[in-house]
Structure formats: structure tokens, C-alpha cells
Structure 1
């Protein structure tokens, strides 16, 4: 008996190619990464030994891991906060009937289509110590240039700001979609009740934007916590470990130190951080959506 095109059996078979691709490119490398983290493999030779939890014990005693985790959280949480705050302001402004709003939306979103590595190099030419655009301006008023990218107190925040600048347009677009799905009847009803602009925003706009807020926060957290390209372009993680994230440290450990086992352990730590933080944020925000 032939199956019809809409039969559940045929539809389920259509999942098979996707599952095979996921198994090949996602599940298999993930399992291999866990396995490698229990070895002293250098990433190149066929010979290696099982060393148990030594890489994870080494991680606990690594004096630089605290700085790296702090930087990773700044890139993730900091970018998420500013992308959502600025993106929401842009969306509220550009949802109004103003001239050139289409052009302005395009300009704000445009950086998101640029490669993050290219965006990092663009800003590197602005901040670089010798010949950078910023120092060209500084030298008009001071005798010495400033080297912000080599300043451990500044470079992490510069990287976070560049990441925010690039992807704030994505947050804006998602918020705009949410705003345009809110019926004007809610605002008219609140006006009849005497609500002002602030009251409308807090009691109508924000609760109905909850799904858009959830999407933006979770996506921004995942993207920021695994930030790599911008860091490599601007500072390469330096000076020392001052601006390293878990992703750049993993790259440096694997290709620089040829220590694939420890790099895999760092990768597993990064996976756990992203999974725990993003899932916790998702569950919390979903609960808030229901309550609102």
C-alpha cells in the first residue's frame, strides 16, 4: 500500500536527512570534544593518552581562567543589555510616522550584514595606536596618543561596544516586528482610561513585547558569550589574557599551544555556560510572558 504525500510516515521520513546532517556536523563533534577533553592529545599526532579529569583540574587551578570567564560574561551580558536597550529605543522611534524612517532603519541594520571579523578590523583602524582615526583627533589637543586597545581597563568594554554597535539593528528589527503586531485598540482603550505615554509604555507596550524581548535576550546572550571574531581583530585577546574570552582562549590553546585536550575542556566549559545562562533566561522570561 502506497503512502500518501500527507501521511505521518512519509512526513517523518523527511526528518531523516536533517537528523543525519545534525549527527554529522553537531552531535559527532560534540561527543568527540567531550572524549578529547579526557586526553592529552596535541591536536595533530595520532598518539595520545587518557588522563581522566586532569584537564578539568588544571582548569580549576588556572590563574587566568577567572579573568577569561569575567570577560566572557561582560561580552555576553553587557552586549545583551545594551543591544536590547538601544534596539528598543530605535524601534520605538522608528515605529513612528517620521520622514526617512525606512532609510534610518536600513542604516541601523546595515552593520549586521558585515562579517564580524571585517567589522572588528574597521574599528581597529579607528582605535589603533599609530595612525588611528581616534589618535589623529587626540593629537590635535594632546601631545601623546592613547592606546586604548592595550589598556586592560578599556579594551574589554570597547569590544563589547563594537559587538553592540554591529548587532543592535537585529534587536531593533525584532522589536519593530513586535511593536507592529500590537493592536492600536489597546492604546485607544488606555487613553480612554486616562493613561499617559509612560503608563502606556509600561502597562501596554512592554507586556505585549515580552515575546520579542525573550527572543532578543536569548539570541544576544548566545552570540555574546561565544564572541570570537571581533576580539581577534581588535586585540587578539591581549595584552596577555586581559581581553581573552573562552572562545579565543580555546583557539589559542589548540593552535598556539597545540593542547587539544585542554582546549576541548575549555570548549565544554563554554558550552555549559551558554546552555545554563541561556536556558535559565529563557525559562525565566517565558514565565514572565505568562504572568503578563
Structure 2
């Protein structure tokens, strides 16, 4: 009886509430989404029919899906690259013993606490065609304003930059924590050997930041691939499908076209893409940690 009480049985029961919440709010909605993708449900009516794989056939024959997936990858990988490069540079700079570094860290991190939708609207007033701050400057040198958000070759990158700006502080904080965990003994030993600053960075700093790089890359990829709020605020996915992502197209299909079955199919595609990208990137970066 005593051994039973001292066993891990009661400790393992502590997982049950978390497991139930996971099943209720994650697994069950996912399974419901899979089920709905095989129907023609409009999202509101009580009546719907099973249509088999028709939604998936429609998905792979949709002439716009290639552009939408391409945009989704640009948002994911573009934001990840910029956030990690700029975030690391900020972290290295603000890890130095300089004045006002605490204030500067707060300023860089401040956009993170703002709602992504609000952040998108703030930048909309900066880029908008008439009365936008950027066009006010452009009008000093040109006769006509430039509609940057309607430019299909630029608006995707503008959205990527705005998303990068907002979540740059998260990458910076993670890298700062990683830099502060590196012992100064490594740099003292390298200085005795006459190593340069670049050699210190590539031979000491970067390898020892491998766990921080893994965290930032995976989180940034997941966040970028499901980007929604900033796109909605800046372009609403337009013009046409020029800046649509899978998440905004899913929203448009559900609420705009009342096509919940196809929206669920798009959601399943987005889930598969995010799962594959995150699992493979995590496995690759973990392997690099071990090698480092």
C-alpha cells in the first residue's frame, strides 16, 4: 500500500486536466475540420451533404491556389529570415555595455504587445494612397502619389516587413538570453590565441547560439505561415488574390462565400504545410545543435 502511494501513479494523474483540455480545444476541432472538408456545408445551415473528395479536387485545380501558397511561403520564410538576422544584430548591439540599452530594448520589444490588427492599421495609414505619410514625402518629388498596397509585386513584401517589425523584439529577447548564457571564458581564451571579432562570432557565438536559433526559426516559421491580421488590415488579400495567404483565403471562403467545406479543406492544407515545415526545420536545426 505504501509503495502504491509513493509511486508515480498520482503524479501522472496531474497530466489528465491538461490532456483533456488539449483533446477538447485542439484535437476535437481539428477532427471536426477534417470531417467538414468532406461536406458542402455553408457554415450556417443545419443541412449539408457529404461530397467525398470534391473539395480536395477543387483545391488542386484552383488556378489561384499556387499564388496563395507562394505568398504563404513568402510570409513565413521571409519574416523568419528578416526577424532572425535583424533580431540577432539588435541582440549583439544591445548586449554591449552602452547607455540607454534598457530603454532601447523596451522600444524594440514594444510592438510585440500591440494587437497585430491594430499594427496593420497603423502601417496602413503610413502606406495608404491618399494622405499616407509615405506618399506625402513622395509628393515632394513627384506629381502623383504611389499606390504601394495595390502593387501586386510590392504589397507581399510590405506585409512581410510589417510582420517582421512587429515581432522583431521576440527574436531579440531570445538571442539576448542566449548571448548572456555564453561564458566569457571562451572569448578570453580566444583573445589569447589572437582571434578576431569575426572569428569569435563564427567560431564561438554562432555555434553556442544554436538552441536560440532553433527556437526563433521554428516559432517565426509557424507564425509567418499562418499570418492573417496584418494582411487583412493592409490589403484584405488584394488586389484580387495578389496578397492572399491560406489563412485569409480560408476566412474569405467561409465568411465571404459561405463555403465552410472548402474553407476547412484550406485549413487542412495549411496544417499539413506548417507541420511538415516545422518538423523538418526542427529536426535539421536540432542536428546542427549537436554538431555544433
TM over 0.5: yes
Shift in alpha-carbon separation, 1:197–1:6, aligned structure 2, 3 A: farther
Q: Is the 8 A contact 1:67 1:241 kept in 2?
A: yes
Task: Please name the residue that 2:61 is paired with.
Answer: 61
In structure 2, distance between residues paired with 1:229 and 1:8:
44
Could you list the runs of 5+ residues in structure 2 that have no partner in the other structure?
none
In structure 2, distance between residues paired with 1:133 and 1:29:
43
Can you list the C-alpha shifts for 1:35-90, whole angstroms capped at 9, x where unaligned? Answer: 11111111111111111111111011100000000000000000000000000000
Task: Please name the residue that 1:98 is paired with.
Answer: 98
Task: Please name the residue that 1:80 is paired with.
Answer: 80
TM-score by length of 1: 0.98
- 5-14 or 153-162: bigger deviation: 5-14
Task: Please name the residue that 1:246 is paired with.
Answer: 246
In structure 2, distance between residues paired with 1:158 and 1:236:
13
In structure 2, distance between residues paired with 1:2 and 1:22:
33
Task: Quote the offset at 1:24 in angstroms.
Answer: 1.1
In structure 2, distance between residues paired with 1:129 and 1:3:
74
TM-score by length of 2: 0.98
Can you list the C-alpha shifts for 1:90-142, whole angstroms capped at 9, x where unaligned? Answer: 00100000010000000000001101000000000101111111111111221
DSSP-derived class of the 1:19 partner = helix
In structure 1, distance between residues paired with 2:112 and 2:261:
34
Task: Quote the offset at 1:21 in angstroms.
Answer: 1.1
In structure 1, distance between residues paired with 2:83 and 2:275:
20
Task: Quote the offset at 1:228 in angstroms.
Answer: 0.3
Task: Please name the residue that 1:273 is paired with.
Answer: 273
Task: Please name the residue that 1:172 is paired with.
Answer: 172
Task: Quote the offset at 1:7 in angstroms.
Answer: 4.5
Task: Please name the residue that 2:212 is paired with.
Answer: 212
Task: Please name the residue that 2:117 is paired with.
Answer: 117
Calculate the aligned-residue CA RMSD, in Å.
1.3
In structure 1, distance between residues paired with 2:103 and 2:4:
49
Name segments (4+ residues, structure 1) moved above 6 Å: 2-6
In structure 2, distance between residues paired with 1:6 and 1:23:
29
Task: Please name the residue that 1:127 is paired with.
Answer: 127
Q: Is the 8 A contact 1:3 1:9 kept in 2?
A: no
DSSP-derived class of the 1:252 partner = helix
Shift in alpha-carbon separation, 1:215–1:257, aligned structure 2, 3 A: same
In structure 2, distance between residues paired with 1:261 and 1:198:
54
Task: Quote the offset at 1:5 in angstroms.
Answer: 8.6
In structure 2, distance between residues paired with 1:164 and 1:228:
14
Q: Spell out the pairing of 1:1-292 with structure 2 (5 A cutoff).
A: 7-292=7-292
Q: Is the 8 A contact 1:251 1:263 kept in 2?
A: yes
Q: Is the 8 A contact 1:3 1:10 kept in 2?
A: no
Task: Quote the offset at 1:157 in angstroms.
Answer: 0.3
